[in-house]
Amino acid sequence: MLKVGVIGATGYTGEELVKILASHKGIQVTSLTAKIDKAEKIQSIFPSLEGKIDMMCELPDEDMVAKASDFVFLALPHKISMEAAPRLLKAKKKVVDLSADYRLPADIYTKWYGAAHKDVDGLKHAVYGLPELNREKIKTASLIANPGCYPTSIILGLAPLFKEKIADPSLVIADSKSGVTGAGRRADMALSFGEVNESLKAYKINEHQHSPEISQELSKLAGSEVGLVFVPHLIPMNRGILSTIYIKLKRGIDTKEAVGLYKNFYKSEPFVKVLAEGQLPQIKDVRTTNFCYIGIKVDTEKGLAIIVSAIDNLTKGAAGQAVQNMNIMCGFKETEGLL
Amino acid sequence: MLKVGVIGATGYTGEELVKILASHKGIQVTSLTAKIDKAEKIQSIFPSLEGKIDMMCELPDEDMVAKASDFVFLALPHKISMEAAPRLLKAKKKVVDLSADYRLPADIYTKWYGAAHKDVDGLKHAVYGLPELNREKIKTASLIANPGCYPTSIILGLAPLFKEKIADPSLVIADSKSGVTGAGRRADMALSFGEVNESLKAYKINEHQHSPEISQELSKLAGSEVGLVFVPHLIPMNRGILSTIYIKLKRGIDTKEAVGLYKNFYKSEPFVKVLAEGQLPQIKDVRTTNFCYIGIKVDTEKGLAIIVSAIDNLTKGAAGQAVQNMNIMCGFKETEGLL
Amino acid sequence: MLKVGVIGATGYTGEELVKILASHKGIQVTSLTAKIDKAEKIQSIFPSLEGKIDMMCELPDEDMVAKASDFVFLALPHKISMEAAPRLLKAKKKVVDLSADYRLPADIYTKWYGAAHKDVDGLKHAVYGLPELNREKIKTASLIANPGCYPTSIILGLAPLFKEKIADPSLVIADSKSGVTGAGRRADMALSFGEVNESLKAYKINEHQHSPEISQELSKLAGSEVGLVFVPHLIPMNRGILSTIYIKLKRGIDTKEAVGLYKNFYKSEPFVKVLAEGQLPQIKDVRTTNFCYIGIKVDTEKGLAIIVSAIDNLTKGAAGQAVQNMNIMCGFKETEGLL
Amino acid sequence: MLKVGVIGATGYTGEELVKILASHKGIQVTSLTAKIDKAEKIQSIFPSLEGKIDMMCELPDEDMVAKASDFVFLALPHKISMEAAPRLLKAKKKVVDLSADYRLPADIYTKWYGAAHKDVDGLKHAVYGLPELNREKIKTASLIANPGCYPTSIILGLAPLFKEKIADPSLVIADSKSGVTGAGRRADMALSFGEVNESLKAYKINEHQHSPEISQELSKLAGSEVGLVFVPHLIPMNRGILSTIYIKLKRGIDTKEAVGLYKNFYKSEPFVKVLAEGQLPQIKDVRTTNFCYIGIKVDTEKGLAIIVSAIDNLTKGAAGQAVQNMNIMCGFKETEGLL
């Protein structure tokens, strides 16, 4: 049994992570910590975990976690993860970091997150944990930068077109709609029910901190710089991201060919489902699952592909994908704990 | 034109109050203040007021309000109102206080709100502003204690039975369900969308601060002490309170008689609608209106009346009723601005 | 591996049932049928089942189900179940019926459901499938009447008080709040988003078809006729029932004693959690789980207990409890598939 | 007092229309009809109208409406309006049709709505009722084709760029998000709370019946054929449309210039508000108002403008705009009844 610890267990992502880990047959959760007032049973903090796990959530104590665990998930805010990771890696633990701290080069990180990077060495070894694209590297990695929720939905939605050099990289428009848990579990009037319910808004156009991560990964796929326009929206629902993506095609394919291309590209993927021509995904298809559902429509007249990609932001967009990475790193069945 | 000021204009109640006042033909809004960082147009703070009013919301400044206005609404938290009211009253302004500060005797206030009362003199003159019961006193009052939202729904739901001495006062069970704006406009994780949506809870059983207000007013109606059990619930919707009330009857009447009794009791009331036998109210009937809808069913076998009472917590439960009180105090048509 | 069939697999309950069964280690789903236009993969009908099961949902065909399965769940509307069950029982299949058809004596059934009972013989052998009260009988039953969602929440909330003869049976007030899936998956304007969202209503006061089932089971526990007042409410959320129950006590116990009594009564139950004094359950604690959470407060002055009971209507209130019954009937671990 | 009738008063649009008309000082509602089972008070059908109007809603009877009214709103489904309008026009009534029947040439209408047009003569005289673009023609029109909800949000969002010949017409991407009332008031499982809540979907990509209307009006503004990609989405909220629009610019302007251009273009408009640089609209800004709020951001590097346009689908997107048209046609103040 692999001994697993979670640092930062009391956010929405932490809750989801503990729920998934509790049902995983190859591991044992051996430590949970969080910035809380006093140590408390995790199932008292999240009563929905009752019967699934019976364990204390302790105050932050990396040494304790390192001693108790062989594998550690960091469900921490950015800036904090890069302080915790180096010591765990030094102690030969494998680490999946769910924050943004290991996703970008130091200079770009500083530009978007407003802080100098404190673990440039770690950055060199970190692998971007999108299994559908980086599975081989993940297998041997000791530090995974688990992708952001928006990036996961957008990159999976575009990968086949860029890999096959069909998409024109000069302009990608990603219009994403996210549920509220994507913003974290915290007191904030802008996230209060009275402000969010019966409303809807676009925010941070081209200024969202996930933008450089999306650009970077798409550019790698395209082999050249991608021109990204990213517009996130806040939706009155708890969970889910639906990204509607618009991109010009360099050569004339129709919807049928595009669907075939996607089906082929993802044919061995356990968690990506490409819908048949004429079908489009909805959030309820993927809610609480680790799946990404993709629907495609090509406007042949305008040479434009419209891709609709749906995930659960807390599962495939965070905790589920983190466990998928652990499964790959540790030789478990990739779907273990996730179906 | 009556010159009207609002102190505390930036809560949900303040927003609703300004919206109603902006459409009132007999008054002019002459001052708005709130505890904000810097003075700002009220329609910038609440874009939904655009086109309805064009006016600055200033930082707190009672002297300015007193100078500019003849009539003042206090949409302040409790404990703060009782500091502002005395000076306004001294300056001969009429005041409607939407907080709890003038609803209870000093000793009971201290017990439930944890603070000594600072305006015992004002308390003596304050009139409880439930027009359906106290209209004559409201006409000549200079200080109105505007009722709480839960109390409004429960007292209106029970008044006919107590006034007619049909209800047994020994036990009143009020099971109330409220939308989230009832808790105010503020940053609080317990009010965040992710915590409230797709959930529901009872809270503060017999410990809610509206309990003594409900008991007090029902006891006045009954002519003897009423035994209240009050269980509020938080519901995933923005606006509205639905109270389901259970009370034993002292003499045998059936649903038809009860409905007749209620219809007669409220026959001249512009804002209370008693539904026909067999009908029950829902929140959408009263949302954004100043109405209270009441449905009644008598279980004759058990001698128990079940009364369902629905209001909008921000309108009849707060701002609408406050304007109704102003209308009565100032000789306007009682429905002015409210239909 | 036990071979299991589900008749009526395309309602909300059917979806939940298939989801649970797909993760159950002791069984194999061998047949799914529903009244649909044409046979279709169940994971196409409910994309959220993708990766969990890969199987056709066929048109209704009892013979096929009987041939393929040893154990059958009937997730059918009432009146239909009692036509299907006798033939399955005759073919020596074990059956859990999730409809109301086997919960009441024939005469009472006819009064509340408006139809003559077609399987009076089956009625005699049916066991009311509330494991916490009838576990021993369930073990040897071949036909289970799976309890309704409202009854489950109310009976579990009251059982300790009635068993211990502390509750006064003359008047039980159950004020229940349910999410919308409780009304089934169907086209009905009253269930449309525009009518339900931002609203709330009481309905069918003392006229809801679950009333006789609640009365019957509570009366059995009390040893005498119980006087039930049952007021269901429709809440704008998908899943969950919270019942707030009011009952007079025959002897003076306080909250602490009551909590102790409940904790003792349910001490061996895997799916009932009694909360500590001062705590109350909320729907999010039990959402998608098979748990019933119970909070208790005694108003000693009035000799009244207030019990708040929370379940997920589709899990403990339907599909989860049905599987719990199967586990008991077939000797599986009672929690298998349910944690 | 202008005598006004509403045919089709019992949909969501009809309810909103009656609510607005009831507060309009220049008119009197003299007839209401709808396809209902029996004549009934409109305030019994929509209790939220209580106190605002007291009037029967009759069964369909055009002659009665024509006799009672000088001005008629048709809040009917498409295909039905074009049967009712000719007779009313012949009787010299002024008509605002809220359906799609008079918005498109007959051949395009047939292609998108699947029916031959029955009033080709009426089509010739109908004026597209978007006051911000067609105010002069509306003044003298007798038949108004009231714009669709999606088209209103998109056309207002793009008009300044096309009028000023800054936008490149070859590709307009409109990603629109709509609340559920946009789909009408009817029994449909796809619109039920259980299906819509906690979900989100794109639908009818480039196949929505509002597409030709949007293309047609934008092409008129551009002076050449516009290449439209229109992707509507269904959002779990009752009211509101937010359209995020992406368009290439033909010459280099930045956000500041664009905002200035929009502010100038709409400077005299009572119901369009252009937000300051850096601000974006949200649905709660416009909910239940007749306003369109517009926020603009230019990505100068890519020469792309991103416009976010927010309206209430039932007010500016339907009933409010219909009354605005009536105000213009009949010489009332344009904002009468709408603030």
Find chain C residues with C-beta within 8 A of D12's C-beta: 194
- C-alpha D219/C-alpha D223 separation (Å) is 6
Tell me: do B291 and B232 sit in the same domain: yes
Instruction: Identify residues of A whose CB sits under 8 angstroms from chain D CBs.
Output: 170-171, 173, 175, 177, 195, 197-203, 205-206, 227, 229, 231, 233, 235-240, 242, 244, 246, 280-284, 287, 295, 297, 299, 301-302, 304, 306, 308
- Residue C117 belongs to some domain of the structure: yes
pLDDT digits (tens, 9 = 90+) for A30-65: 999 999 999 999 999 999 999 999 999 999 999 999
Which of D221-227's residues contact partners 24+ apart within 8 Å by CB, and which partners? D221/D133, D221/D155, D221/D158, D221/D159, D221/D162, D221/D163, D222/D162, D222/D165, D222/D167, D222/D169, D223/D165, D224/D169, D225/D169, D226/D162, D226/D169, D226/D172, D227/A301, D227/A302, D227/D169, D227/D170, D227/D171, D227/D172
Amino acid at residue number D327: N
Residues C290, C171, single domain; the answer is yes
**CB–CB of C47 and A281 under 8 A?**
yes
Residues listed for chain B:
339
> Between the CA of residue B164 and those of B160, B250, C146, C316, D123, what are the distances in Å?
6, 11, 46, 45, 64
Q: Are residues C140 and C155 in the same domain?
A: no
The contacts of residue A63 (CB under 8 Å, 6+ apart) are: none
Same structural domain for residues B89 and B134? yes
Taking an 8 Å cut-off on Cβ atoms, the answer to whether D198 and A284 are in contact is yes
SS3 content of chain D, % helix, strand, coil (to 5): 40, 25, 40
- The structure tokens 């009481």 sit at C202
At residue C85, φ and ψ (nearest 5 deg) are -60, -45
What is the structure's pLDDT at C228?
A: 98
* Assigned domain for A336 exists: no
As a whole number of angstroms, the distance between CA C298 and CA C310 comes to 18
Residues C232-247 have pLDDT tens digits of 999 999 999 999 999 9
Distance, CA of C243 to CA of B244 (rounded, Å): 13
Nearest to D175 among A175, A282, A299 (CB): A175
Beta-carbon pairs below 8 A across chains B and C:
126
CATH code assigned at C35: 3.40.50.720
pLDDT at residue D82 in the model = 97
Mutate to test the interface with B, among D25, D44, D180, D285 (most CBs of B within 10 A): D285
D111: containing domain: 2-146+318-330
pLDDT of residue A30: 98
pLDDT of residue C241: 98
| Residue B225 domain flag | yes
Cβ contacts (< 8 Å) between A289 and chain C: which residues? 48, 50-51
- Nearest beta carbon to residue B282 from set C200, C239, C281: C200
Single out the residue of C266, C296, C293 nearest to residue C282, CA to CA. C293
Task: Give the mean pLDDT of B249-263.
Answer: 97
C1: number of Cβ within 10 Å: 10
Look at residue D336 and tell me if it is in a domain: no
Clarify whether residues D82 and D221 are in a common domain.
no
B268 and B229, same structural domain? yes
Question: What are the distances in angstroms from CA A75 to CA A10, A97, A145?
Answer: 9, 7, 11
User: Scanning every residue of chain B, which has its alpha carbon at the shortest distance from the alpha carbon of D51?
Assistant: B339
Q: Note whether C7 and C97 are within 8 A (CB).
A: no
Task: Of A62-66, A231-235, C104-108, D315-319, give the lowest mean pLDDT range.
Answer: A62-66
Which residues of chain B are within 8 Å of residue D289 when distances are taken between CB atoms? 48, 50-51
Question: In total, how many domains does chain A have?
Answer: 2
pLDDT tens digits, residue range C265-295?
999 999 999 999 999 999 999 999 999 999 9
The owner of tokens 């609703």 is B16
Q: What is the pLDDT of residues D216-262, one digit of tens each?
A: 999 999 999 999 999 999 999 999 999 999 999 999 899 999 999 99
Rounded to the nearest angstrom, the gap between the alpha carbon of residue D30 and the centroid of all alpha carbons in its chain is 24
Q: Which of A79, A83, A69 shows the shortest CA–CA distance to A33?
A: A69
Phi, psi of A60 (to 5 degrees): -50, 130
Instruction: Verify whether the Cβ–Cβ distance C289 to A335 is below 8 Å.
Output: no
Task: Examine residue B338 and state whether it is found in any structural domain, yes or no.
Answer: no
Give the CATH number for residue C175. Answer: 3.30.360.10
**D180 and D68, same structural domain?**
no
Radius of gyration of chain C from Cα atoms?
A: 20
Contact C197 D238 (CB under 8 A): yes
Collapse the DSSP code of A165 into the 3-class scheme (helix H, G, I; strand E, B; otherwise coil) and give the result.
Answer: coil
Q: For chain D, how big is the Rg over CA atoms in Å? A: 20
Tell the burial category of C38 from Cβ atoms under 10 Å away from its Cβ (0-12, 13-18, 19+).
exposed
For the annotated catalytic residues of C, the residue numbers are 149
Q: Do D238 and C194 touch (CB under 8 A)?
A: yes
Task: Report the candidate in B72, B78, B54, B58 with the shortest Cα–Cα distance to residue B2.
Answer: B72
CA of A190 vs chain B CAs: smallest distance (Å): 8
Q: Which positions of D are catalytic?
A: 149
Residue of B nearest to C301 (CA): B227
Q: Are residues A20 and A157 in the same domain?
A: no
Contact across the interface for B240 and C195, Cβ inside 8 Å: no
The string of pLDDT tens digits covering residues B267-321 is 999 999 999 999 999 999 999 999 999 999 999 999 999 999 999 999 999 999 9
Neighbouring residues of D123: CB distance < 8 A, sequence distance ≥ 6:
D102, D105, D106, D117
Contact list in A for residue C289 (CB cut-off 8 A) is: 48, 50-51
pLDDT the model gives residue A223: 96
Interface contact D235-A236, CB threshold 8 A: yes
Helix or strand or coil: residue B301? Answer: coil
Question: From A235, which residue of chain B is nearest by alpha-carbon distance?
Answer: B193
Alpha-carbon gap, residue C25 to C4, rounded angstroms = 12
Q: Do D194 and C185 touch (CB under 8 A)?
A: yes
Neighbours of chain A (3+ CB pairs under 8 A): B, C, D
Q: What is the pLDDT of residues D59-114, one digit of tens each?
A: 999 999 999 999 999 999 999 999 999 999 999 999 999 999 999 999 999 999 99
Interface test with D, best of A171, A195, A282 (most D CBs within 10 A): A282
Q: Which helix (H) or strand (E) holds D63?
A: helix D62-68
Q: Is residue C221, in this structure, part of any structural domain at all?
A: yes
- Say what the pLDDT of residue C226 is: 98
Question: Could you tell me which residues come within 8 angstroms of residue A284 by beta carbon, excluding any fewer than 6 positions away?
Answer: C47, C48, D195, D198, D199
Please check whether residue C135 lies inside any domain of the structure: yes
Classify burial at D38, counting beta carbons within 10 Å of its beta carbon; exposed 0-12, middle 13-18, buried 19 or more.
exposed
Counting one residue from chain B and one from chain D, the pairs whose CB atoms sit within 8 A come to 50
A221 CB contacts (<8 Å, ≥6 apart)?
A133, A155, A158, A159, A162, A163
Return all residues near D45 (Cβ < 8 A) that are at least 6 apart. Answer: D10, D36, D57
d(CA D227, CA D211): 11
- Domain match, A92 and A171 both: no
Residues 6+ apart with CB under 8 A from B295: B275, B279, B280, B281, B307, B308, B309, C202
Q: What is the pLDDT of residue D278?
A: 97
Residues of A in contact with B194 (CB under 8 A): 12, 180-181, 185, 191, 238
Interchain pair B308, C238: CB under 8 A: no
Residues of D in contact with C193 (CB under 8 A): 180, 191-193, 196-197, 236, 238
Q: How confident is the model at residue B136 (pLDDT cuts 50, 70, 90)?
A: very high
Give the integer Cα–Cα distance in Å for A180 and A192: 10
Q: What is the mean pLDDT of residues B64-85?
A: 96
For chain D, the residues whose C-beta falls within 8 A of a C-beta of chain A are 170-171, 173, 175, 177, 195, 197-203, 205-206, 227, 229, 231, 233, 235-240, 242, 244, 246, 280-284, 287, 295, 297, 299, 301-302, 304, 306, 308
Residue C239: which of D198, A102, D144 has the closest Cα? D198
Apex C77 CA angle, C72 and C79, nearest 5: 95
Determine, for residues D51 and B270 on separate chains, whether the beta-carbon distance falls below 8 Å.
yes
pLDDT in tens, D271-305: 999 999 999 999 999 999 999 999 999 999 999 99
pLDDT tier, A132 (very low <50, low <70, confident <90, very high otherwise): very high
Task: Answer yes or no: are the C-beta atoms of A44 and A10 closer than 8 Å.
Answer: no
pLDDT band at B132 (very low <50, low <70, confident <90, very high): very high
What is residue A178's three-state secondary structure? Answer: strand
Statement to judge: residues D203 and D54 lie in one domain: no
Strand partners, C202: C233
- Given an 8 Å threshold on Cβ–Cβ distance, is B52 in contact with D339? yes
Put simply, the answer to whether B238 touches A194 (Cβ < 8 Å) is yes
Per-residue pLDDT reduced to its tens digit, D119-178: 999 999 999 999 999 999 999 999 999 999 999 999 999 999 999 999 999 999 999 999
If interface means Cβ-Cβ distance under 8 Å, which residues of chain B face chain A?
12, 180-181, 185-189, 191-198, 236-238
The verdict on A96 and A161 lying in the same domain is no
Q: Does the residue C166 lie in any domain?
A: yes
Q: Which has the closest alpha carbon to D229: A233, A172, A304?
A: A304
**Mean pLDDT taken over chain A:** 97
What is the C-alpha to C-alpha distance for residues A74 and A81, in angstroms, rounded to an integer?
A: 6
Contact at CB, D291 and B51, closer than 8 angstroms: yes
Closest by CA to D14, choosing from D332, D330, D322, is D322
Mean pLDDT (whole number) for C17-32: 98
Q: Is A99 found in the same domain as A10? A: yes
Chain C contact residues (CB < 8 Å to D): 12, 180-181, 185-189, 191-198, 236-238
